[in-house]
Amino acid sequence: MGSSRSRMDDIPHAQQLIHETDFSAAHLLRLHQRFKLLDKYQTGELRPRDFGAIPALALNPIGDRIIGAFFSPGQETLDFPSFVRILAHFRPTDPNRSRDGTQQELANSRTRKLKFAFQLYDQDGDGKISRAELLQVLRAMLETQVVEEQLQSIAERAIQEADLDKDDAISFDEFRRSLEKVNIDHKMSIRFLK
Amino acid sequence: MKMQFPLLLLLLLFSATADLSGTADLRETGLSIPASAPPLHLCPQSGAPRDLAPPGLASARSAAGEPEEAQNVGHHGGGFRVVQWEWTYVQTPYIIAMWLLVASVAKILFHFSQHFTTVVPESCMLILLGLVLGGVVLVANKKQLYQLDPALFFLFLLPTIVGDAGYFMSARLFFDNLGAILTYAVVGTLWNAFCCGFSLYAAKLLQVIDERVEADLMDFLLFGALISAVDPVAVLAVFEEVHVNDTLFIIVFGESLVNDAVTVVLYKVYISFVEVGVENVETADYFKGVASFFIVSIGGTLVGVVFAVILGFITRFTKKVRIIEPLFVFLLVYLAYLTAELFSLSAILSMTFCGIGANKYVEANISQKSRTTVKYTMKTLASIAETIIFIFLGISAVDKSKWAWDTGLVSCTLVFIFVFRAVGVIGQTWVLNRFRLIPLDKIDQVVMSYGGLRGAVAFALVVLLDGEQVKAKDYFVATTIVVVFFTVMFQGLTIKPLVKWLKVPRSSSRKPTINEEIHERAFDHILTAVEDIAGLQGYHHWRDKWEQFDKNYLSKLLLRKSVYRKSELWEAYQKINIRDAISVIDQGGNVLTSARLSLPSMASRASFPEFTNVTNYLRENGSGVCLDLQVIDNVPGAKVEEDTETHHVLAENLYKPRRRYQSHYSRHFMSLGEKERQDREVFQRNMKSRMETFKSTRYKRHKKERSLKKRQGPDTKEDRDKPRRNVSWQDTDQVFVSVESDEEKDEHSDAEKEEDVGITFVARKTETPKPRPKSVPPAVGDSHSPTAAPPSLTTGGSLLPWKGSVSSPPPCVSVEATKIIPVDLQQAWNQSISSLESVSSPPAHTEPVHPRVSALSRLGVPRPVSYSPPGSVGGCTSSIGSQVVQSSLCFPEKKKEEEMEEEQEKEEEAELQPLLAPPTSPTKPPPPPGSAPSSGKRRKPSVYLRSLVTTPSTGSNESHSRGPTQL
C-alpha cells in the first residue's frame, strides 16, 4: 500500500472514531491507508471521482449508487471520519456488544444496515421506494439479461408483495418487514482484515 | 408398530430363506434346480403378492421356447418339462431385486408409525433390521452368506449417495463455508487419525489392550486413519432427520465428503508401509505420502470439474433428445467417480465437485421434466442405497467368523475417537472463529463434535484389510462395527434430543420471496463494492470476480443460448409465481378447483356419453357454471339436443379446451400430464393478468421491444418455432396448436372477451332454433376446400364430439367462473375487462388474435362485405353480420397491441406454449371467403393441416353445426 505508513497520530479524531464505530486501531490504520491511497491529490477529502478510479467498482452494476451513498446529500466531499462511519455499517455485529443496548445504536445494527441498503433504492429520498426506483435498480442489476417486460413483472410482484399500505411503493418499514426473515447480519457484513 | 413388526419379520424371513435356499442349493448342485425345489413352494404359499413373481418370471422365460401356459406349473411331461426351474439364470438379479424389495418394504413399515420415526432415526432401525436378518440367515444356514462387500459398496452404493448429495448441495453455501470445511476435513481428520493411532498404541503398551491383539504402531495408525473419518452416509442419514441450520449441516457434511481425500491417502500410505514393513520405510516415502495427498485431492477435484464442464456442455445440445437428458447427468457424474477411482484419486471429491459444478448449468439447460426426473431418480437411488448399506451393516455384524472381541480395544477406541473429535473441533473452531465472519458458537461445536458419525466407509475399508499383513484385522473389524453402531445408533438416537435441548437453530424450509431475492442480490453488490472501496480483497471480491468470469466465459460455453439470456432473478420470479399459483389452488379449495380446475379434468375423465353426469355435477356444484346450464335445462328437446346443447355451452364458455386423450407416444418426447398443464395454465393466467395491468400504459414500449426482439436473431426465433413444429408433427390432435397456440399466448384479454360475450352467446342461442343434427344434409364435399371449409369442419367435429372425432377438446370454464377467481386475480381481471370495454367484442371473434391473421384483418377491409352473405354460413342471423363489421374495424388497432404482448409472452413461454391446450378452437369462425385471396397464402399450411385432421371425422354434421358454434 502507500509509501507512507499511517500512524495513529495522523488520523484525525482517532479515539473518538474507535469509540463510535468499534473499529479496532488496526482496522482504523488500515482504512486510513486506504483512504490516503484513494485520495490521489492529498486533499484530505474524497470526491466521487476518486471512487470512480477504482477499477472493480466501475464494473459493479450499482456501483455509482453505492458511491452516492457515501456522500451525504448536497455534499461533494467525504472526509476520513465519515468514510469510516459509512464503512462501519458493514462490520459484523458483535454478539457481546449488542447485549448492552443502552448506548446509542451502532452503525452496524440491523436497522442501520437496512437503512443503508434502503437509501440505495430510494434515490429521491422521499422515504419510499417507488416502482420506478425499484425498476432502475433492477435494470442496473440485471442489465441485458431480461427484457423490460420481465423487469416490470418482477417489480410489480415485489411491490405487491411488500406493499402493505397499498400506496404502490415500499416504505422503509415495509422494506424491513419484507426482509424480516433474512439474516441481515450475515448478508450485510464483511470481514475487515486486521 | 407392534402390529407391523411380526408381519415384517415374516416377510423378511421368507425372502431371506428364499434367497438362502436358492443359493445353498445352487452351491450343492451347481445346476438348475427342478421345479420342485423348496423355494418355489415356499413363495406362493407365503401369500405375499410379491412372491407371485417367481413362477411368472420362470414361465415367461420358458415360454420363449415352449408355448405352454403358466397354469401348467407343476405338471411334468415325460422327457419334456413344461416348466423349468431356472434359478441359476435369474439368480443374481433376483436376489438383488429381493433385497431392494425387502429394504423398501422395511422403509414403508417403519414409517407406519409417525411417533416412532420421529424418535428413532431410520438408520438405527435399518441396522437393527439387518441384525435380525443376519441372525435369520445365520440360523438357517449356519454360515453368513451376506456381508457388505467393499467392491459393491465403493462402486455402486457409495456413488449413488455421494452423487445425490453433491448434485443437490447448495454451491453457495458450500463455498461460503469452504474454509471451515477444508480445515475440519484436512486438519481435523489428520488430527483424529494420528491421535487415535498413537493413543491406541500407547494403550497397547500400557496393556490396556489385550496381548492377543497383535498390532504395532503402523497397524494402529492405519486403524486410526480409517476409523477417524466422518462418514458421509451416516451424517446424511442422521442429519437429514435432525434439520439443524444450513451452516452447521454444510460444515459437518462437507467435512465428511472432503475428508475422503485424507482418508484415502492415509489408508494407502499406511497399507504400503505395512506391506514393506516399517523398518524399510525411507524418509522420502513420507514426503511422497504428503505429495500424494495433494495429488489425490487436487486431482480428484480436477477430474470432477472436467466432468462437470463436459456435462454442462453436453446438456447444451440435448434439446431434441430431452428424454435422455437425465441419463447424461447420471452417467457423467458417475463417470467422474469411476475415473477418479481409476486413477486412485479421491472419487468422492471428484463426484462432489462434478455435482456442484454442473448443477447450475445442467439445471438451466435441461427441461423441467428432466429436472424432476433427475431429482427423483437420484433421490430414489440414494435412498435405497442408504437403506441397503445400513441393512448390510447390520447383517455383516452377525458373523462370528470375522469377529474377534477385545474389550480394551473397543472401549479405548470409542473413548479416543469421541474425545479427540471434541478436542479437535474445539481447537479448530477457536482458530477458525478468528477468521470467520459468523463465528461458530459453543452449541455449534457441541453438535459438530457429537455429529462426527462413523459409518460404512470405515467398515468397508477395514474389511478390505489384508489379514496376512494386518494380524489384528479381526479385532479391528469388530471394533469398527461397534464404533459404527455406537455412533449411528447411540449418537444418532440422542442427537435429536440434544439439538432440541441445546436449542440449535433449525433450518427453515421457507422459500425466499421475490423481495428477498432482489435485495439479497443487491446486498451482494453492495458488499462487493464496499470491499473494493475499503481495499479489501475479501471473499466478496473474489466471488464477484468468479461471477464475472462465469458470466463472460463459462456460461457462454455451457449454457444454451436461449437460457443464457434468462436471468436467475427471472427464473426465481417464475418459480415463485408457480408456487403461488399452486398454493392458490390448494387454498382456494373447492370453489376454485371445482369451477375452474377440476372441471376440465372431470370432463376429460368422463367420457362423453356420460355427459349428463357432468351436467349434474355442475348443477349440484352451485358454481357460476350452472347459470349457463340452467339455460340449457330450460330448453325442451330430445336427449340428443340436450347433449348437443350441453356440449356447446361447455365448448363455448368453459375456460380452456383440453385434449382428452394423450394418444400419442414417442420415445423422444413426453406429453404433458393434465395436472401439469393446469398448473401452467394457472401460472399463465397469473402472469397474464399482471401483464394486463401494464397494457394500456405501455403500448409504445411494447413496440420498441418487439422491434428489438426481432433483431435478436435466429436464436430466439428458433425457440419460438421449434416446439410448435414438434407438436404439430407429432400428434394430429395437436395440429390445432399451430394456429391456436398463438392465441393462447396472447394476453388474456381475448380469453376474457370470449368469455365475456359467452353469456350473451348462450342466451341468444337458446332463442335461436337449433338446427338438428339429423336434419342437416351432409356436406362432405365442402370439406375439401381448404379456404372456407376447414374451420367449419372443426366446428362440425365439435358439435357432437362423441359421435365425431375426439379432436375437439372439451373446454372448461365458463365466463361465470371469473366470479370465483381469488381476489388479486379478480382485480387484475376487472382492470383488464374495463380496459377492453372500448372494444366491442364479437362473440366468436377469436380469429384476429392470431398475429398473422390480425395483420390481414388490417388489410382486409373487404372482409365484412364478403362476410355478409349469410348463405355461406349455416345458422347465422343478420345481426351477427353487423357485429362482425364492427369488430373487424375495431380489431386491428387493439390487436396490434395484443400482438406485441403476445410476442413477449411467446418468447418467455416458448417452451410451454405447445403444451398448452388451444383455447377455443371450436368457436373459430370460418375465414371470410372474401379475404381468402389475401389470407390464403399465409394461412394455408395450418388450414391444410386442419382439414387433414378433421376431414375423416366430421362428415355429415358439418353445415348445421356452423350456426351455433359460430355465433
Q: Dump pLDDT digits (tens) for B425-454.
A: 999 999 998 888 788 888 889 999 998 899
**Which chain A residues are Cβ-neighbours of B898 within 8 angstroms?**
none
Residues linked to residue B76 through DSSP beta bridges, in sequence order: B81
Instruction: Summarize pLDDT for B225-272 with one digit per residue, the tens.
Output: 999 889 999 999 888 888 888 888 999 999 999 888 888 888 888 888
Nearest to B527 among A150, A160, A190 (CB): A190
B321-346 burial, b for 16+ CB within 10 Å, e for fewer? ebbebbebbbebbbbbbebbbeeebb
Q: What is the DSSP string of chain A?
A: --SSPP-GGGSTTHHHHHHHH---HHHHHHHHHHHHHH-TT--SEE-HHHHHT-HHHHH-TTHHHHHHHHSPTT---EEHHHHHHHHGGGSPPPHHHHH-TTSPPPTTSHHHHHHHHHHHH-TT-SSEEEHHHHHHHHHHHHGGGS-HHHHHHHHHHHHHHH-SS-SSEEEHHHHHHHTTTS-HHHHT------
Least confident range from B49-58, B376-385, B395-404: namely: B49-58
Q: Give SS3 for B506.
A: strand
CB contact under 8 A, B438 and A179: no
Question: Is pLDDT larger for residue B429 or for residue B736?
Answer: B429
Nearest to A57 among B529, B577, B693 (CB): B529
**Which chain B residues are Cβ-neighbours of A153 within 8 angstroms?**
573, 687, 690-691
pLDDT at B310: 94
Query: What is the C-alpha to C-alpha distance for residues B694 and A149, in angstroms, rounded to an integer?
Result: 9
Nearest to A157 among B573, B694, B702 (CB): B573
pLDDT value at A176 more than 60: yes
Alpha-carbon gap: B501 to the closest alpha carbon of chain A (Å): 22
Mutate to test the interface with B, among A150, A151, A174, A183 (most CBs of B within 10 A): A150
Most confident residue range from B150-154, B350-354, B683-687, B855-859: B350-354
Residue of B nearest to A194 (CA): B435
CB contact under 8 A, A182 and B908: no
Query: What is the C-alpha to C-alpha distance for residues A85 and B438, in angstroms, rounded to an integer?
Result: 22
- Residue ranges of the alpha helices (H) in B206-243? 217-228, 232-242
Instruction: Summarize pLDDT for B269-305 with one digit per residue, the tens.
Output: 888 888 887 777 788 888 888 898 899 999 999 999 9
**Which chain B residues are Cβ-neighbours of A160 within 8 angstroms?**
824
Is B570 near chain A, with CB under 8 Å?
yes
Query: What is the C-alpha to C-alpha distance for residues B678 and B601, in angstroms, rounded to an integer?
Result: 9
Alpha-carbon gap: B453 to the closest alpha carbon of chain A (Å): 29
Q: Give SS3 for B787.
A: coil
pLDDT at B825: 54
Q: What is the DSSP string of B90-104?
A: HHHHHHHHHHHHHHH
Calculate mean pLDDT across residues B752-775: 39
What H or E segment, with its residue span, contains residue B808?
none
Alpha-carbon gap: A92 to the closest alpha carbon of chain B (Å): 7
pLDDT value at B772 more than 50: no
* CA triple B639-B642-B648, angle to 5 deg: 145
Of all residues in chain B, the percent with pLDDT exceeding 90 is 16
Longest dimension (CA), chain B: 112
Q: How many CB atoms lie within 10 A of CB B842?
A: 25
State the cell numbers at B66.
415352449
Mutate to test the interface with B, among A154, A159, A164, A181 (most CBs of B within 10 A): A154
Nearest to B923 by CA among B856, B841, B843, B867: B843
Read off the DSSP letter of residue B76. B
Q: What is the mean pLDDT of chain B?
A: 67
pLDDT at B882: 44
pLDDT value at A139 more than 90: no
Calculate mean pLDDT across residues B698-708: 50
Residue of A nearest to B687 (CA): A153
State the cell numbers at B358.
454442473
What string of H, E and C letters represents the secondary structure of B415-434?
Answer: HHHHHHHHHHHHHHHHHHHC
Is B858 near chain A, with CB under 8 Å?
no
Q: What is the DSSP string of B527-582?
A: HHHHHHHTT---HHHHHHHHHHHIIIIIHHHHS-HHHHTS-HHHHHHHHHHHHHHH
CB contact under 8 A, B518 and A154: yes
CB contact under 8 A, A146 and B569: yes
Size of interface A-B (CB pairs under 8 A): 167
pLDDT at B940: 45
CB contact under 8 A, B529 and A154: no
From chain A residues 50-79, the ones with a CB under 8 A of any chain B CB are 51, 54, 56-57, 59-63, 66-67, 70
- Residue B364 C-beta-side C-alpha neighbours within 13 Å: 25
Residues 6+ apart with CB under 8 A from B694: A149, A152, A156
CB contact under 8 A, B514 and A161: yes
Nearest to B672 by CA among B325, B905, B359, B372: B372
Calculate mean pLDDT across residues A26-35: 82
**Which chain B residues are Cβ-neighbours of A37 within 8 angstroms?**
535
Is B868 near chain A, with CB under 8 Å?
no
CB contact under 8 A, A56 and B525: no
Instruction: Summarize pLDDT for A44-63 with one digit per residue, the tens.
Output: 778 777 777 777 777 788 88
Q: What is the DSSP string of B838-881?
A: TS---TTTTGGGSHHHHHHHHH-TTHHHHH--GGGSSS--HHHH
Q: What is the DSSP string of B725-779?
A: HHHHHH-GGGHHHHHHHHHHHS-HHHHHHHHHHHHHHHHHHHHSPPPPTTTSPP-
Nearest to B438 among A34, A121, A186 (CB): A186
Is B518 near chain A, with CB under 8 Å?
yes
Least confident range from B547-561, B702-716, B919-933: namely: B919-933
Q: How many CB atoms lie within 10 A of CB B956?
A: 17
Is A148 near chain B, with CB under 8 Å?
yes
pLDDT value at B170 more than 70: yes
From chain A residues 9-28, the ones with a CB under 8 A of any chain B CB are none
* CA triple A40-A46-A49, angle to 5 deg: 75
pLDDT at B553: 85
Query: What is the C-alpha to C-alpha distance for residues B493 and B487, in angstroms, rounded to an integer?
Result: 9
pLDDT value at B355 more than 90: yes
Is B519 near chain A, with CB under 8 Å?
yes
Read off the DSSP letter of residue B812. -
Instruction: Summarize pLDDT for B722-733 with one digit per residue, the tens.
Output: 444 443 343 334
Nearest to A178 among B508, B515, B569 (CB): B515
Alpha-carbon gap: B417 to the closest alpha carbon of chain A (Å): 32
Query: What is the C-alpha to C-alpha distance for residues B851 and B744, in angstroms, rounded to an integer?
Result: 11
pLDDT value at A78 more than 60: yes
Nearest to A117 among B526, B577, B907 (CB): B526
| pLDDT grade for B537, boundaries at 50, 70 and 90 | confident
Nearest to B437 among A62, A87, A191 (CB): A191
Nearest to A90 among B530, B577, B698 (CB): B530
Query: What is the C-alpha to C-alpha distance for residues A3 and B656, in angstroms, rounded to an integer?
Result: 74
- Residue A158 C-beta-side C-alpha neighbours within 13 Å: 30
pLDDT value at B773 more than 60: no
φ, ψ of residue B906 in degrees (nearest 5): -60, -40
What is the four-CA torsion angle of B377, B382, B385, B389, rounded to 10 degrees?
A: -170
